[in-house]
Structure formats: C-alpha cells, structure tokens
Structure 1
Amino acid sequence: MISYRDARTIDGPALAAMARQSFVETFGTLYSASDLSAFLDEAFGPNGLPSQLSDPDFTIRVALAGEEIIGYVKMGPVTFPGEWRPDAIELYQFYVLADWHGQGVAQTLMAWALNFSREHGAREVILSVYVDNHRAHRFYEKYGFEDIGRIAFRVGATVDDDNLMRLVL
C-alpha cells in the first residue's frame, strides 16, 4: 500500500538516498563518474536536500511503500534567473523510483503539488526538465505545462540544457 505525507526532518538520509537512486536510474549513463558524484553530493548531500527539510521556504511531499520513500515532490519559491510573478511557485524536484512508474505515484504527487500551489495563492507553477527527458515532458504536458524557454543545468562540470515549463493555474 502506498501512503503520502509531508516529509519530516528525520527523513533526510532516506530521502537523499532515494533521490540519488532516482537520479542515477534516470540520468546516470549521461555523465562521467566524477560529474555525477559531484552533482549527487551537492544536490543530495547534507547541505542539499536534507537541509531543506527544515527550511520554511520549501515543502516536500513523500510517497511511501511501507516505510520506504519511493517518490517525492519539492515546492518552493521560484529561483530561476529572470523576472517572475510574485504569485509563481517552483516545482523543484519530482522523483519517483523506476520500479514504481506506472503505479499512480506520480499522478498523486502532481495532484498534491497543484493543490498545494493553489492553496498557497500561486497563479503559475514553474519547473525545468532535461530537454531529452521525453517521458517527463509528456507527463508535464498532460497537466497543461508549456515550454517557455531554456536554462542551463549543471551536473558537475557538464552543462545541459533544460526546458523551462509553466502551468498557469
């Protein structure tokens, strides 16, 4: 049975391990070992995702199978360069372990993310997605997200292109 709840500070190590696993499952073959390691340490090390669990600017919702975190979505203020509406919110990370794809986890997390956004007065949701992550693009487009530009995304020394996408609520 899959359950959902807000992440807690104590979830830090398990959440970081799940995020690392999901990132490697999806993108691990694209990068050198050193670039991948540098990114994983920065994004999911103690000063990355786990530290945001106690930051009031971020809200993280987790999906659990028993006690195991199998997915999560992170919401917070828009940090992309440029001018953004004051009522915009950013969907930072949206990860579901590969074994759980097709089980409804992503749809439940997205429903939560959109409800959370509306409840907190957001009029638009902004996210970035790797240009060649076609599965993610199709998923976001089903919800009405549209491409609005490109942004550089760094993984170690490698700089990739991400699409910026927006959903007007």
Structure 2
Amino acid sequence: MITYRDARAIDGPKLGAMARQSFTETFGTLYRASDLAAFLDEAFGPNGLPAQLSDPDFAVRLALDGEEIIGFVKMGPVTFPGEWRPDAIELYQFYVLAPWQGQGVSQELMAWSLEHSRSHGAKEVILSVYVDNARARRFYERYGFEEIGRYAFRVGETLDDDRLMRLIL
C-alpha cells in the first residue's frame, strides 16, 4: 500500500539514494560518467537534497511503499535567473521510480504540491523540464503548465536544454 507523508531530516540518506537511482534510470545514459557522478554528488549527496530537509524554505513530500521511498516532490523559493513574482514558488524535483509510474503516485504528489503552493500564498508555480522528456512535459501540461522560456541545466560540465514552465494558480 502506498502512503504519503512529509519528509523528515532522518529520511535524508534514503531519499538521496532514491533520487540518485531515479535520475540515473531516467537520464543516466545522456552523460559522461564523470558529469553524472559530479551532479549526483552535488544534488543528492549529504550537502544537497538531504541537507534541505531541515531547511524551512523547502518542503518535501514522500511517496512510500512500505518503508521504501518510491517518489517525492520538492517545493521552495524560485532560484531561476530573472525577475519572478514574490508569490511564485518553484517545483524543484518530481521523481517517481519506474515500477510505480502509472500507478497514481504522480497525481497524488502533484495534488499535494499544488495544495502546498496555494496554502503558502503562491500565485504561480515555476519548474524546469528537460526538453526531450516528453512524458514529463505532457504530465505538466495536463495540469495547465505552459512553456515560458529556456534554461541551461548543468549536469557536471554538460549544459542541458531545459524548458521553463509556469502554472498560474
């Protein structure tokens, strides 16, 4: 049975490992091993995602199958370059492991992220998505997200072509 709860600092190591697994299974073939390793260490190592679990600027919701973290979504202040509304919020990461995709986990996590955004006074949600991640783009578009620009997403020394998307709440 899949359950959902807010992440706690103690979840850091397991969440970091799950995020590494999910990113690697989705994008691992796109990068040199050194670039992938550098990104995974920075984003999901002890000073990355796990450290943000105790930062009050960030909120992370977990999806669990028993004790196993199978998905998560992270929300926080907008950090993309440019001018953003003060009542904007960023959807940073939205990961669901492959065996649980298509099982309703993504819909539950998205429902939480939109409710979290509204309850914290946000009027828009901003995210970036890899240009060739058609499945994710279609998912966001179903919720009303629209492309608003481009963003160079760094993975090690590789710069990916991401699209910025926005949902007006």
Equivalent residue number for residue 89 of structure 1: 89
Give, in whole Å, the separation in 2 of the partners of 1:161 and 1:57: 27
Aligned-residue Cα RMSD (Å) equals 0.4
The residue type equivalent to 1:105 in the other structure is V
Give, in whole Å, the separation in 1 of the partners of 2:101 and 2:168: 26
SS at match of 2:73: strand
Deviation (angstroms), 1:80: 0.4
Equivalent residue number for residue 156 of structure 2: 156
SS at match of 2:29: helix
Normalising by structure 2, report the TM-score: 0.99
- Structure 1 gap segments, 5+ residues each: none
Give, in whole Å, the separation in 1 of the partners of 2:81 and 2:154: 14
- Structure 2 gap segments, 5+ residues each: none
The residue type equivalent to 2:130 in the other structure is Y
Equivalent residue number for residue 133 of structure 2: 133
SS at match of 1:47: coil
The answer as to 2:112 corresponding to 1:108 is no
Deviations along 1:16-40, whole A, 9 cap, x unmatched?
Answer: 0000000001000000111100000
Number of equivalenced pairs: 169
Normalising by structure 1, report the TM-score: 0.99
Deviation (angstroms), 1:146: 0.1
The residue type equivalent to 2:123 in the other structure is R
The sequence identity of aligned pairs, in percent, is 82
